[in-house]
Amino acid sequence: MDIIGAGIGGLTTAIALQQKGIATRIFEQAPKFKPIGAGIVLASNAMQVYQKLGLAKEIAAAGIPISTMHLTTPQLTAFSKIDLSHFENKYNIKNIAIHRGKLQEILVRQLDAKQIHLNHQLQTITEKDAGYLLAFKNGETLFSKQILGADGIQSKVRNSLFDDTTIRSSQQICWRGVCEFQLPKKHKNIFTEAWGKGNRFGFVEIAPNLVYWYAVKTMEQAYGSYTTNDWPSLFTNYDSMAQELIARTPKESIHVAELTDLLALKKWYKKDVCLLGDAAHATTPNMGQGACQAIEDAYVLAACLQQTAQEEAYAKFQQIRQSKVSYIVKSSWNFGKMAHWKNPLAIGIRNNLLKMTPDFINRLQIEKLFQLETISG
Ligand SMILES: Cc1cc2nc3c(=O)[nH]c(=O)nc-3n(C[C@H](O)[C@H](O)[C@H](O)COP(=O)(O)OP(=O)(O)OC[C@H]3O[C@@H](n4cnc5c(N)ncnc54)[C@H](O)[C@@H]3O)c2cc1C
């Protein structure tokens, strides 16, 4: 089986399939594994999958456990505090914040180097005989009978073989960075997101004295016209720690992205081809669930492929996963919009409502994210 894309989704799928005795080849466009300087939060649902794959301990040891989530004002006064200990006890696993590079290293180590083909950017994919001809930018071509498209939101596999899809811009721009910083004790093991007017700033420790931060702003001009020189001034009304985190991060390592998602696809599969992760159902990152959903996909898809033959397995995979990912894509979109309100009166009401939300309501909402689907059969 051939996987296009060695992101978190592609690598985790290869590991899950390997554990079911299904061999894969992975084709990745990057000439080498070069992690972007950013962190990621692996929520309980993703960590439950890694526990099943036998990787949770190693991942947890390379990251930092997160037991509380805070929503705060720009001056870091919390108006919503969500304690995750209920879920830690229920699932016997913690949410982990980790450097993306560390996670990638751990995943790659589980696979045979010979099965990962770097510098293989898929350029065209054509139906031929009872399979597909894959042509790569490096001049190589090969025949494949079964393809998994794990090539992200701009998926070449999807764009070549599936009906037109729409990538939707949230009109928000995000800068991310990682810097060495001694986070005060009161902020440790907490994921904090501060909400301003039309912007927000989040940070979390991902290794001892290493902090991942991100800054998001509603775009008032074209995406490409923002430069790294003008943007730090956009966050000057935030707590001085935000300024310090930004200032300590080498400019050239700051990663910028427009926050987008994918309008729902009717079908994630077609004969011997199946999409997964962002290629199938990219979401805005406002609920920190994009990679977590790709990881859940990997586990469910491998279980389905072990049980049944190809197209039937893909149909079952989509049927199991679709409802949860649709909920996340929709909720994440709305959450991101709500976080960027600008009207001070509306902001006041919103913050008070979030403050007054009873714990059991928060738990019900989080449970929808953390609970894995049952795979029958
Ligand atoms: C600002 C931001 C913050 C985020 N924070 C979180 C978080 O805290 N928690 C979380 O769960 N998610 C988070 N996400 C979402 C997460 O990053 C994605 O959902 C996740 O990376 C999707 O994984 P994937 O493997 O499906 O796709 P990708 O990570 O996009 O990987 C696709 C891979 O395919 C390769 N590829 C692409 N095209 C080709 C081609 N033609 N040929 C060969 N290879 C190709 C790419 O190089 C890449 O390696 C965040 C996203 C953003 C933008």
DSSP string, 304-326: HHHHS-HHHHHHHHHHHHHHHHH
**Edge-to-edge strand order for the sheet containing 199-207?**
78-83, 68-72, 190-195, 199-207, 210-218, 167-180, 255-262
Q: Relative to the CA of 282, which ligand 1 atom is closest?
A: 19
CA distances from 327 to 7, 23, 333, 363 (A): 23, 32, 10, 16
| Count of C-beta atoms within a 10 Å radius of residue 221 | 8
pLDDT at 232: 61
Q: From 151, 292, 296, give the residue whose CB has the most ligand 1 atoms within 8 Å, as the site to mutate.
A: 151
- Distance (Å, rounded) from C-alpha 259 to C-alpha 154? 13
| Every domain of the chain and the residues it spans | 2-167+261-370
Matching residue, tokens 């197209």:
311
* Contacts of 185 by beta carbon, 8 Å cutoff, 6+ apart: none
- Distance (Å, rounded) from C-alpha 45 to C-alpha 9? 14
Residue having the nearest C-alpha atom to atom 15 of ligand 1: 290
Buried b (16+ CB within 10 A) or exposed e, 160-180: bbbeebeeeebbbbbbbbbbe
**Edge-to-edge strand order for the sheet containing 273-275?**
116-117, 25-27, 2-4, 147-149, 273-275, 269-270
Residue having the nearest C-alpha atom to atom 19 of ligand 1: 290
pLDDT at 158: 97
Q: How far is the CA of 150 from the centre of ligand 1 (A)?
A: 9
- Distance (Å, rounded) from C-alpha 295 to C-alpha 277? 8
* Contacts of 242 by beta carbon, 8 Å cutoff, 6+ apart: 74, 194, 201, 203, 213, 215, 235
Residues 237/196, Cβ–Cβ less than 8 Å? yes
CA distances from 145 to 23, 73, 136, 376 (A): 13, 53, 16, 27
Residue having the nearest C-alpha atom to atom 17 of ligand 1: 291
Strand bridging mode 273-275 / 147-149: parallel
pLDDT at 229: 66
Q: Residues enclosing ligand 1, CB less than 6 A?
A: 4-10, 27-30, 40-41, 120-122, 150-152, 156, 174, 176, 214, 257, 277-279, 285, 288-292, 294
CA distances from 94 to 175, 203, 212 (A): 27, 18, 18
pLDDT at 234: 72
pLDDT at 354: 95
Closest CA to 146 of 134, 164, 160: 134
Q: Tell whether pTM > 0.95.
A: yes
pLDDT at 362: 92
| Count of C-beta atoms within a 10 Å radius of residue 89 | 9
Q: Relative to the CA of 276, which ligand 1 atom is closest?
A: 26
pLDDT at 235: 82
Matching residue, tokens 């989080």:
366
pLDDT at 168: 96
- Distance (Å, rounded) from C-alpha 329 to C-alpha 311? 25
Domain 2-167+261-370 coded CATH 2.60.40.790: no
Q: How far is the CA of 355 from the centre of ligand 1 (A)?
A: 33
Residues 7/280, Cβ–Cβ less than 8 Å? no
* DSSP 8-class letter at 46: H
Q: Per residue in 136-193, pLDDT tens?
A: 999 999 999 999 999 999 999 999 999 878 999 999 999 999 999 999 999 999 999 9
Low-confidence ranges of the chain (pLDDT < 70): 228-233
Q: How far is the CA of 291 from the centre of ligand 1 (A)?
A: 7
Q: Per residue in 279-311, pLDDT tens?
A: 999 999 999 999 999 999 999 999 999 998 889
